[in-house]
Structure 1
Amino acid sequence: MEQILKFLGPTFLTLKEFGFIYGIQGMLVRRNLEKLWFEECVTMSKYNVFHMPSTSLWSCMKDLTDIGADRVPFGIAELDEVTNTWNTSFFPLKSKPSKHRIAKITTVYESKGDILSVKDLFYTKQRERKSWWRQMSENPSIYYMSETKKENGKEYAEIQAQFPFGNIVVETINFKNSAKKLLPGVENGERLKIVEQVVSLDWGCLAFLCDGYIEIKGSKEIQMHPKLVAYKAYCKAIIAPEDDESTRQDLNYLTSYVIELLREKGVESVNVNDIKNPEHFKVAYIITVDSESLKSGLVKLVCQRTLCGEIVHITSMAKRMYDLCVVCKVTE
């Protein structure tokens, strides 16, 4: 793991005894992971999921009750910074628990005399969440669900990513037989059960970075799903020896224009005209322009995961990249 992080460099992630230190690219990877989680678990949920700050959870629940929006099932989404004992084997024994950012969904169900119906939902969530991690992975088989365990009045299972250096827990799914602590004022609290999904965004980010690391014939690279990478693309000019200074300037202007079009469309991209080592930006796609592009308006788009290329007109480039990296389904 240390070798992978060293290869990626401080622009991605450094793991210290006291927690996660992100660079300019790593911070965006975590933000993208959080965005994907929010879309999947909150925006596209089959039932109402309300985003609440953990510091005012009870008052927000009272507001839901007052407006009659507390009909079960419903969910509560929280984003928080916590200090707990996730993946302690990766830190020295005497070090303090690391601080990391979590994303949590607490779903409240009503048991109508048959607790098995709620437990079925607990197991359904396990399958759904394991599938979600696998869909974004370069190596889906590394993500697996642990056996269900019981502890402190709850049942839980963990989604772990298996690596040669050890397993990383990225998410826990909990079943609680009572919602009285969450909803102390509700009359039928005894019949309400809770299924809780807790994702560590930091440990998940680390897992995806390690998952995407590959070595082929001595060459090292990182490959990630287009929706996860920090920057989706950069554009570079292919300058031929016979190109004069005017052509070179025009090509540089064209690369900047392509980046401007992508940014206007909401596609994260980086301008590398004045950057000495653009390969340090692990983008999903590389766009190249040459002197023929100035005449025809055609540019080349190459996917770094598959190394497959296509020719796209500059007027269609931004929409094509948007379709590939922003609105595409995770399974693509």
Structure 2
Amino acid sequence: MQKILQICERHSLAKPIFSENSLYCMKFGPVGELLKKFLCHEWLHANVISSEIGVFPHYVSRSDAGHTIHDLKEAYEYVRNLNSGQLPFGVVVETPNLCADKYFEKQQHILDESEKYFYPKKCTFLKTFMFVAPSKATHFYYQWQRHRKMWWRKFSACPSRFVLSDVQNNEKNQSVHIQANFPWGSQNVETLSYWTTADQDLAIRTVFEAKDGRKKVTPHIVESTLSVERAVFTFLCDAYDETAFAGLPREVMRFHRKLAPFKLSFSASASSSSAGEELNQLAVYLTKQTRDSGISTLLLPDLVKKSLESQFVRNDELGIPYTAVLNDTSLKNGIITLRNRDTTLKEQVHISKLREYMEKILKNY
């Protein structure tokens, strides 16, 4: 865990902020903010943009709103009307700066030193409420469990790490956790619940009535909740790896290319200062091209001042999936070498095809 925290602080990914011997919040640096933004984007894409049913976002600015069924009445009525009153449909809610004590019941009872970094007091929660006809709700709940588990696995460097817990039943709902298994133990990273509005008062039940075909029914609700801070730190721990290189261990952050703060970086080696200046100008031109295509690209001023190996080490620690390597030959024939972080294999690409090639790579999951 200390190695993970050190690499996070060294490269401005994340830093835990403590208050009175407990974790108050997880502070993200410039690189960590990019990781967080990409993670939230992929969550929104999976739950809203690519959803098979109509799901709509509902954002709240107050930290004490948006996390109970009572707070959803206005959003629910709008989405229901937009959907002609027909089930199923859903609402996703982002609740920033929420005090997480009541959600993270382990906060005051953590024994393992490594666990505390998953339980900050201040969190941003991402919640999904799916409103489903009673006759189809159980089947939908099991499908939703699989959907959410596969989402975590899709972005993991070790997909088998993410599993479903045993189902927990009580009088009001049924719940299951998605867990991440680490060497120090298992962490609950998302909670999925299944419940109804039947136990609410008549006024609430009337508000939430909808149609299942021609029948009026009170929908059953499939809810999922995750903390952005916990999700980001989970993927930081998941991505960390040590690999042997030339007989020595090398730290690598194996971020999925969709989550990686930077998708591409440039490295160069030049035989002279004049060639170095030309390579730097070429890198600036190519960086503008890739950024114009929406590809997060890192270009640093020490492009030709550091050895290629030291640049590879830094890029691997930053979790950058691809490094474009420029040299004197690139100025003559336009051929650059694209290095893959995970395999360290290199392939040749013409500079005129780099943007198109990167777009194809990043388009696929």
TM-score (norm 2): 0.80
In angstroms, what is the RMSD of aligned CA positions? 2.4
Percent same amino acid among aligned pairs?
25
**Unpaired stretches in structure 1, ≥5 consecutive residues:** none
**Unpaired stretches in structure 2, ≥5 consecutive residues:** 18-22, 66-70, 211-215
Runs of 4+ in structure 1 deviating by more than 4 angstroms, as ranges, are 65-68, 179-184, 187-190, 275-278
d(CA) in 1 for partners of 2:160 and 2:26?
Answer: 26
Structure 1 residue 32 and structure 2 residue 55: aligned? no
Which residue does 1:99 correspond to in 2?
A: 122
d(CA) in 2 for partners of 1:152 and 1:97?
Answer: 29
d(CA) in 2 for partners of 1:295 and 1:251?
Answer: 11
Taking the TM superposition and a 5 Å limit, the aligned residue runs for 1:169-208 are: 169-178=188-197, 184-187=206-209, 191-208=218-235
Q: Deviations over 1:92-131 (max 9, x none)?
A: 9xxx96111222110001124xxxx421211121112112
Structure 1 residue 147 and structure 2 residue 172: aligned? no
How far 1:67 sits from its partner (Å)? 4.7
d(CA) in 2 for partners of 1:160 and 1:44?
Answer: 24
3-state SS of paired residue (2:177): strand
Q: Deviations over 1:143-199 (max 9, x none)?
A: 110011124611110001111123222111110122757765244686310001212
d(CA) in 2 for partners of 1:68 and 1:227?
Answer: 31
Which residue does 2:4 correspond to in 1?
A: 4
Decide whether the 8 Å contact of 2:180 with 2:186 is kept in 1. Answer: yes
How far 1:224 sits from its partner (Å)? 1.2
Which residue does 1:249 correspond to in 2?
A: 277
d(CA) in 1 for partners of 2:130 and 2:171?
Answer: 19
How far 1:65 sits from its partner (Å)? 4.3
Which residue does 2:296 correspond to in 1?
A: 268
Decide whether the 8 Å contact of 1:236 with 1:273 is kept in 2. Answer: no
d(CA) in 1 for partners of 2:347 and 2:250?
Answer: 25
Structure 1 residue 328 and structure 2 residue 361: aligned? no
Which residue does 2:333 correspond to in 1?
A: 296
* Correspondent of 1:110 among 126, 133, 139: 133
Decide whether the 8 Å contact of 2:83 with 2:89 is kept in 1. Answer: no
- Amino acid in the other structure paired with 2:13: F
3-state SS of paired residue (2:234): helix
- Amino acid in the other structure paired with 1:60: A
Does the C-alpha gap of structure 1 residues 104 and 70 become closer, same or farther in structure 2, counting only changes over 3 Å? farther
- Amino acid in the other structure paired with 1:212: A
Decide whether the 8 Å contact of 2:197 with 2:205 is kept in 1. Answer: no
3-state SS of paired residue (1:174): strand
* Correspondent of 2:323 among 286, 308, 314: 286
Which residue does 2:254 correspond to in 1?
A: 223
How far 1:257 sits from its partner (Å)? 1.3
Does the C-alpha gap of structure 1 residues 125 and 65 become closer, same or farther in structure 2, counting only changes over 3 Å? closer
TM-score (norm 1): 0.88
| Range with greater deviation from structure 2 (47-56 or 62-71) | 62-71
How far 1:45 sits from its partner (Å)? 0.5
